Amino acid sequence: MKYQKAVLVIAVMCGAVFVGCEQQPIQPTVDTSEVNRKVVDTYSDLAIQNAIIAQHTVYPYHFVANSPQLNDLGLRDLGVLIQHYTDSPGIINVQQGSADSALYQQRTQMVYEKLLQGGLTEDKIQIASGMPGGEGMASNTVIEILEKEKTTQGAQGLDMDVAF
């Protein structure tokens, strides 16, 4: 009987020890879904900023309709360009679109003033009406590609008219 009591006492003590050692699951202190969302937003923001810098162009849709005032999108995109051109000066294109000469001049002046307000010095500001996205492809290269494509497809029995 003494032996059974000793075994029972040991069993109860071991049970108490094992229950006491049970570790409660630790709840995360950070919402991982929120962290994941922020990471995706950061990558997205960087991609958008890189696209804005690559195009380096203010389009007619960046302005309030029939006005020289920049809309919220125009202010955001111009802010990205100002930040970039602070360290790496370059050309900013302002597209005329369907704006008449007077409105286009006002818009160009507005962009110039915003660049100055953003802290760029006059030596870092170059405004042009060029094409977005860099140098592009030379027109004679495009013509050669189209002619080659026409010849290749013409040989296959397809009729392609390309006007130059």
Number of domains in the chain: 1
Judge whether 117 lies within some domain: yes
Judge whether 1 lies within some domain: no
Task: Write down the pLDDT at residue 143.
Answer: 67
Rounded average pLDDT over 124-151: 69
pLDDT exceeds cutoff 60 at 161: no
Judge whether 146 lies within some domain: no
Residue ranges in the chain assigned as alpha helix (H)? 2-20, 32-55, 72-87, 101-117, 139-155
Determine the straight-line distance between the first and last CA of the chain, rounded to whole angstroms.
110
Contact call for residues 71 and 62 (beta carbons, < 8 A): yes
Judge whether 162 lies within some domain: no
Other C-beta atoms closer than 10 Å to the C-beta of 132 total 13
CATH label of the domain that carries residue 67? 3.30.1330
Task: Write down the pLDDT at residue 25.
Answer: 64
Judge whether 92 lies within some domain: yes
pLDDT exceeds cutoff 60 at 164: no
Can you give the residue range of the structural domain that contains 56? 48-136
Judge whether 24 lies within some domain: no
Rounded average pLDDT over 23-39: 67
Using CA atoms, how far residue 124 sits from 35, 47, 85, 95, 160, in Å, is 38, 24, 7, 20, 47
Contact call for residues 44 and 56 (beta carbons, < 8 A): no
pTM of the prediction? 0.58
Judge whether 116 lies within some domain: yes
Judge whether 10 lies within some domain: no
